[in-house]
Structure 1
Amino acid sequence: MAHRTVVAIDVGTTKICTVVAQVDQDTGEISVLGIGLTPSKGVERGVVVNIDDAISAVASSIDRAERLSGYRITTVYVAATGRYLTSLNSRAAVAVAGPDREITSHDIARATEAAKSITIPMQREIILMQPRSYVVDGNEDIRDPTGMFGYRLEIEAHIVVAEKMQLENLIRSVRRSGAEIEEITLQSFAAAEAVLSDDDRDQGVVLVDIGGGTTDIAIFAKGRLWHTCVLPVGGGHFTNDIVVVMQLPYRVAESLKLEHGSAIADPCDDEEADVISVEGFVPGEEQLISRTLLNEVLQARAIETIELILREIRHSGYEGMLPAGVVLTGGAVQLPRFDELMRDQIGIPVRIGTPRNLTGLDELVDRPEFATAIGLIRWGNQLGTPNDDEQRPPHESWIQRLLRFVRELW
């Protein structure tokens, strides 16, 4: 039975998570060997704002994962999120090259390269490209044209681009923590690898990953990635609302949210049960908080967040075409009754997604906030080892060039 050890790092706004896992090459089963979880520092809304703090937090996470797993971490897979990421769709066509007009992987590669030939600002570069569909001589919605006969091959692709400097700061934060980066991908794309089934992708589904500082959205249809975006709102905004309205320290507000919060503010007839005593800004003095008011604050923010998500679904053009509904991941979706509120607001199925097909220390990571890290494990394994030329792109990508440059520089 062949296994491969893969390491993933999820650099988030509120936490840094490093996961070491072995992947069964026959079954795809993931056995978690170790996890390193530390509070995030130097990262706001997915963007590195203090590189020294970020390095310290990532290094601590790596160290903890190494201690628990007994594995020396040298290379990792990383996910990116933040407003420095944008997406667009591209379409291109090539003539089928072979004399017998049979479409080969070479034709698909040429079409893919043609789709990348889009005009983007010099300070941005492509980090992810996924084919949406192929067209052969006018015949549309072809998933895999390999082996088909035709004269003209068209491709429609979804492309994610990043600001180079912001991405380089993320790369350096990990690199200076002692680990080399194999590849970087989009956070929502990674999370989808952990929680979505093939049926979800085929029928039409929205993956919504609500982290501490961002909400990442990925829409899948017909088995393909069709739309992505990053919203600058997350679980931290829920906590900040409590801080402002109730005038509490952030750590107290966060504890209130986790221990007593709900996305639906039901009225409370028992006045005594409605009162929560907490520590305020004045040392030694308790502050009385209304549970009803707490949940009204959370419900207002939850409704606003759901409206932003629904607006993005409408913008994608896929509203009403997603029978598999919404799958929620990320730490913020564990706010009680958030999924229920979202179901009521948008009128389609909503469920909380957790990583699938796990063994080992699965009880530590079988929660929605670990979807990105586990998805990176699965995605990294699919890419194969660094020397597996058959599974690598024929040309060095910009990300690979940047990674090589940083390695040589440092």
Structure 2
Amino acid sequence: MDDNKQMVKKEDYIFGLDIGASKVNLFVGISEGESVRVVECGDFPLESSDEYDSVVETLQKAVHMLESSAGVDVRDVYVGIAGKHVSSYSYKGLVSLPTNEVRDEDIVNVQRLASTLPDKAGEIIHVFPGEYTLDDRTGIRNPKGYSGRRLGVEVQVVTSRPNALQDIAKCVTRAGLQVAGFVLEPLAAASAVLSNDERELGVALIDIGAGSADVAVFVKDSVRYTASLDMAGNIITSDISKCLQVPVSLTKAEELKKKYGTCSLNNLIEDETFPVPGVGDRGEVLCSRKLLAQIITARVAEIFKLLAKDLEKHHLDTVIDGGIVLTGGCCNLPGIEEIAAKVFKKPVHIGKPRGMSGIQEAFQNPSYATGIGLLYYANKKHRERKQRDTDTQLLVSVKKGMQRIRDIIKTYF
């Protein structure tokens, strides 16, 4: 528990919720200006992410335990979202400038026009504006104040099936929480693991969890592309359960993956083995660790090849000079970055959460990148809201001051 919580205002607490395919992470943080202090994290195994009651029960447990340990009411949470129900679209907009100068309202209008989607596209989660064009000029990051006749922009719009958002919102509400906002998970993870240089140079962040492998491409500090592949840690676990010398349950296969799994084939002793409990009353069976590594490596390579093919299809492989950053629970597999480097033919490293005070060493782990990144995102929104409140209060004060001056003038003149 944070020893200084008595000194913190209630409104400065922020919360991030990551509902994965295998676990629930609930994070509590404190907004400290541009930085965030991590107070608590609850890491709770999820029996079945497809069963409504199981998710609600796990969320309720997480909320109860964190409220007890952190001594604060957990309410408005930013919820990560990813997977097959999330889609990404690229659209362009073009507007005429009535004053021949770019104003704030012109920027809003061109973004709104570019992000107008058909109903079947789903509910909009994010709109990421790219670079602007102004007449024959291109590559403009902020066009405000420039002179011209026509303003254009290309935006990346991320949507989700409405029923998927509704189902998550119902689970969160049933657990006694409120959804402050939905956040694309690789976007959240990027907030925790990417450097400014990587964003500027161009980088593909790949978040490999249990249920999906999600990618977000950043170029010149803006989101250029997002995508989701419905193949990740769970399918690797399924392969292990079927392809060893003896069949094992998915639960046991997951344990074996975490304990003995690796992508570094060259570092294994040829005849190295590990014990696998037999089915029923049968005794233990010794299985080859090299075979386990081959099973894992084959599927990991396939996942990376599919993602690489998708990046090439959208001509993004040539703009990610900063390389590939891997994060998510699967990235704890030793040697996974070596497989990625061979497939993508780019520099690769594992992204771990950093740059936050209060973060325990146990959570400086790629599997917590999304949860901690949600706190970064929550803090950004918290600061924006406080700035709006401050601006509103200042405007009200100015109006009151002007009214008092007018009253004095009327009284004495």
- The alpha carbon displacement at 1:270 in A equals 5.4
8 A Cα contact 2:132 2:154, kept in partner: yes
Q: Describe how 1:253-402 pairs up with structure 2 within 5 A.
A: 253-266=253-266, 271=271, 274-283=272-281, 285-384=283-382, 388=386, 390=388
Aligned-partner SS, 2:357: strand
Q: Which moved more, 1:8-17 or 1:363-372?
A: 363-372
Q: Describe how 1:68-83 pairs up with structure 2 within 5 A.
A: 68-83=69-84
Q: Give the alignment partner of residue 239 of structure 2, picking from 238, 241, 244.
A: 241
Aligned-partner SS, 2:40: strand
Q: What CA distance in whole angstroms lies between the structure 1 residues aligned with 2:45 and 2:281?
A: 25
> Are residue 11 (structure 1) and residue 9 (structure 2) matched?
no
User: What residue is the counterpart of 2:112 in the other structure?
Assistant: 113
Structure 1 residues 71-116: Cα deviation after superposition (integer angstroms, max 9, x where no partner): 210111011111111111011112224x4x3322211111111112
- The alpha carbon displacement at 1:11 in A equals 0.6
Q: What CA distance in whole angstroms lies between the structure 2 residues aligned with 1:223 and 1:268?
A: 40
Aligned-partner SS, 1:10: strand
Question: Matched residue pairs, number?
Answer: 379
8 A Cα contact 2:308 2:343, kept in partner: no
Q: Describe how 1:113-262 pairs up with structure 2 within 5 A.
A: 113-121=112-120, 124-246=122-244, 247-262=247-262
Letter of the 1:30 counterpart: V
Structure 1 residues 153-189: Cα deviation after superposition (integer angstroms, max 9, x where no partner): 1111000111111111011111111111111121111
Going from structure 1 to structure 2, the CA distance change for 1:382 and 1:270 (only over 3 Å counts) comes to closer
Going from structure 1 to structure 2, the CA distance change for 1:289 and 1:2 (only over 3 Å counts) comes to same
- The alpha carbon displacement at 1:12 in A equals 0.4
Structure 1 residues 115-138: Cα deviation after superposition (integer angstroms, max 9, x where no partner): 12232417x221111001111122
Q: What CA distance in whole angstroms lies between the structure 1 residues aligned with 2:197 and 2:269?
A: 45
Letter of the 1:103 counterpart: V
* Percentage of pairs with the same residue: 28
Structure 1 residues 178-223: Cα deviation after superposition (integer angstroms, max 9, x where no partner): 1111111211111111111221111110000000010000011122
Going from structure 1 to structure 2, the CA distance change for 1:22 and 1:221 (only over 3 Å counts) comes to same
Q: What CA distance in whole angstroms lies between the structure 1 residues aligned with 2:232 and 2:350?
A: 16
Q: What CA distance in whole angstroms lies between the structure 2 residues aligned with 1:366 and 1:67?
A: 23
8 A Cα contact 1:206 1:219, kept in partner: yes
Structure 1 residues 208-250: Cα deviation after superposition (integer angstroms, max 9, x where no partner): 0000010000011122101100100111111111100121122
> Are residue 31 (structure 1) and residue 30 (structure 2) matched?
no
8 A Cα contact 1:36 1:63, kept in partner: no
Q: What CA distance in whole angstroms lies between the structure 2 residues aligned with 1:267 and 1:111?
A: 55
Aligned-partner SS, 2:300: helix
User: What residue is the counterpart of 1:56 in the other structure?
Assistant: 57
Letter of the 2:23 counterpart: K
8 A Cα contact 2:22 2:48, kept in partner: no
User: What residue is the counterpart of 2:403 in the other structure?
Assistant: none
8 A Cα contact 1:263 1:341, kept in partner: yes
- The alpha carbon displacement at 1:34 in A equals 0.6
Going from structure 1 to structure 2, the CA distance change for 1:276 and 1:103 (only over 3 Å counts) comes to same
Going from structure 1 to structure 2, the CA distance change for 1:107 and 1:264 (only over 3 Å counts) comes to same
- The alpha carbon displacement at 1:33 in A equals 0.5
Going from structure 1 to structure 2, the CA distance change for 1:314 and 1:2 (only over 3 Å counts) comes to farther
8 A Cα contact 2:36 2:379, kept in partner: no
Letter of the 2:79 counterpart: V
- The alpha carbon displacement at 1:280 in A equals 2.4
Aligned-partner SS, 1:127: strand
Q: What CA distance in whole angstroms lies between the structure 2 residues aligned with 1:328 and 1:243?
A: 25
Q: What CA distance in whole angstroms lies between the structure 2 residues aligned with 1:268 and 1:199?
A: 36
Q: What CA distance in whole angstroms lies between the structure 2 residues aligned with 1:283 and 1:19?
A: 42
Aligned-partner SS, 1:376: helix
8 A Cα contact 2:110 2:153, kept in partner: yes
Aligned-partner SS, 2:265: coil
8 A Cα contact 1:90 1:115, kept in partner: yes
Letter of the 1:84 counterpart: H
Structure 1 residues 273-294: Cα deviation after superposition (integer angstroms, max 9, x where no partner): x121121222462121111111
Q: Which moved more, 1:172-181 or 1:110-119?
A: 110-119
Q: What CA distance in whole angstroms lies between the structure 2 residues aligned with 1:225 and 1:219?
A: 6
8 A Cα contact 1:35 1:68, kept in partner: no
Aligned-partner SS, 1:170: helix
Give the greater-gyration-radius structure (CA).
Answer: 2
The CA RMSD measured in Å over matched residues stands at 2.0
Q: For structure 1, list consecutive stretches of 5 or more residues without a partner in the other structure.
A: 44-48, 392-410
Q: For structure 2, list consecutive stretches of 5 or more residues without a partner in the other structure.
A: 1-6, 390-413
Q: What CA distance in whole angstroms lies between the structure 2 residues aligned with 1:347 and 1:144?
A: 33
Aligned-partner SS, 1:360: coil
Going from structure 1 to structure 2, the CA distance change for 1:268 and 1:191 (only over 3 Å counts) comes to closer
Aligned-partner SS, 1:266: helix
8 A Cα contact 2:124 2:157, kept in partner: yes
- The alpha carbon displacement at 1:147 in A equals 1.9
